[in-house]
């Protein structure tokens, strides 16, 4: 049977998936294979990880996590769900997590995946060094502040196969999470900055079925920030029950709410590590825009509400801090993300995306590399430097695929 991604919408063209058990085996495999590409947990909805030759997964490598003065050194194939509890037991934390902990560290960083929070960068910003097998089977280490490092973290697997990463850590902390329902759209438009700066991490959800309100706002507060929930907030009401962001999904699959304190890794994601993430039967798209464009960009999408709602499960609005990683969608600009969780109808979604992209075009959108999009390639300011990195580490194009040729 052909291998597919998690959603089943991408059938990989690669002849087989290789899972080496040691770093030495991986290096030999890379050296001998004419074409291959690294694949993570398969949670990308785009063909970013495909290869005309072979796929190689790091999940067979020993799942090591070693904490030291420089942070935590992590095997690339580990998921955040595997890593985070280990860190917490040692008194450490990562600055932020994505909405689901089921993704691998290397795959998430390579595609610019992120969580939410005005002061929180994408997951890739925690990387201080990485070890990578290059096209000839050699092993190189790149560290922060070295030439080329900023192009090697969010690299779509185009430079080599990452075997391990060192991530910045902070002291472990606890989070309390509340959900507010039925936020008036006017309150979002008038108080966007107030809402998204109100907590360590904030996410707003809408189904686009009622243009006058947002269905839920999730606020994740550090336990030590002194914030207390009120029954009403900016016109929204405090939920007295556990909720799931996707209508109709079991609330128990979402992380604990109602202000119950818990470890960072059990509150920052929306979905529990031992449950199905999101809807489980879906497609996804996401567009990342300059933070200041949030309100006018939402207004630009309003005329499409009647087309979006029938295909949509839920849409999420998040904010992310700027970074300096060359291919990061948050490169050099504080960012707002418009995330769409679609019903699994590839034809309907593909037909709708060009209209969404046309509406967002005046605001310089950048697509999430691991989600579905149809817009032309974005010219990143450091794209020429990234192409030079590809030529340096992979002169024959061993790791390149149709997706990379298209976008870079």
- The structural domains of the chain, ordered by start, are 174-367 (3.30.70.2520)
What is residue 2's predicted lDDT score, i.e. its pLDDT?
58
The C-alpha atoms of residue 121 and residue 98 are separated, in whole angstroms, by 11
The C-alpha atoms of residue 76 and residue 168 are separated, in whole angstroms, by 15
- Nearest partner of 284 among 329, 250, 315, 330, judged by Cα: 315
What is residue 70's predicted lDDT score, i.e. its pLDDT?
84
* Sole residue written with tokens 């600055």: 95
Give the residue ranges of the chain where pLDDT is below 70.
1-2
- Characterize the bridge pairing of strands 54-57 and 36-39: parallel
| 131, 141 contact by CB (below 8 A) | yes
SS3 percent helix, strand, coil of the chain, rounded to 5, is: 30, 30, 45
Maximum C-alpha span of the chain? 63
The structure's pTM equals 0.96
What is residue 3's predicted lDDT score, i.e. its pLDDT?
85
Q: How many residues does the chain have?
A: 408
What is residue 1's predicted lDDT score, i.e. its pLDDT?
39
């Amino acid at each position: 049977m052909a291998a597919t991604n998690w959603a089943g919408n991408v059938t990989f063209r690669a002849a087989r998936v290789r899972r080496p058990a040691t770093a030495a085996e991986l290096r030999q495999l890379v050296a001998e294979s004419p074409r291959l590409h690294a694949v993570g947990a398969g949670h990308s909805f785009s063909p970013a990880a495909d290869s005309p030759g072979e796929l190689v997964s790091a999940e067979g490598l020993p799942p090591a996590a070693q904490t030291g003065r420089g942070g935590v050194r992590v095997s690339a194939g580990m998921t955040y769900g595997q890593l985070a509890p280990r860190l917490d037991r040692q008194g450490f934390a990562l600055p932020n997590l994505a909405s689901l902990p089921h993704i691998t560290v290397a795959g998430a960083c390579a595609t610019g995946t992120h969580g939410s929070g005005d002061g929180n960068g994408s997951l890739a910003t925690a990387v201080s060094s990485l070890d990578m097998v290059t096209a000839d089977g050699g092993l190189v280490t790149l560290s922060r502040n070295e030439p080329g490092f900023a192009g090697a973290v969010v690299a779509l697997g185009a430079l080599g196969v990452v075997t391990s990463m060192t991530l910045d850590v902070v002291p472990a902390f606890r989070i309390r999470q509340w959900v507010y329902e039925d936020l008036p759209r006017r309150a979002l438009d008038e108080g966007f900055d107030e809402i998204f700066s109100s907590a360590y991490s904030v996410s707003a959800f809408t189904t686009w079925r009622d243009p006058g309100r947002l269905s839920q706002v999730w606020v994740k507060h550090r336990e030590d920030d002194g914030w207390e929930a009120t029954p009403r907030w900016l016109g929204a009401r405090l939920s007295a029950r556990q909720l799931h962001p996707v209508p109709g999904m079991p609330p128990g699959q979402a992380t604990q709410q109602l202000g119950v304190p818990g470890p960072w890794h059990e509150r920052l994601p929306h979905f529990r590590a031992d449950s199905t993430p999101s809807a489980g039967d879906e497609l996804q798209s996401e567009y990342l825009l300059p933070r200041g464009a949030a309100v006018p960009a939402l207004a630009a999408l309003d005329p499409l509400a009647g087309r979006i709602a029938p295909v949509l499960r839920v849409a999420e609005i998040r904010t992310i801090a700027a970074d300096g990683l060359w291919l990061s969608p948050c490169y050099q600009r504080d960012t707002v993300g418009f995330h769409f969780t679609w019903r699994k109808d590839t034809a309907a979604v593909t037909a709708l995306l060009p209209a969404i992209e046309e509406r967002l075009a005046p605001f310089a959108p950048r697509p999430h590399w691991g989600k579905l999009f149809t817009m032309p390639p974005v010219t990143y300011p450091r794209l020429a430097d990234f192409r030079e990195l590809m030529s340096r580490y992979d002169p024959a194009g061993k790791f390149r695929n149709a997706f990379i040729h298209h976008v870079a």
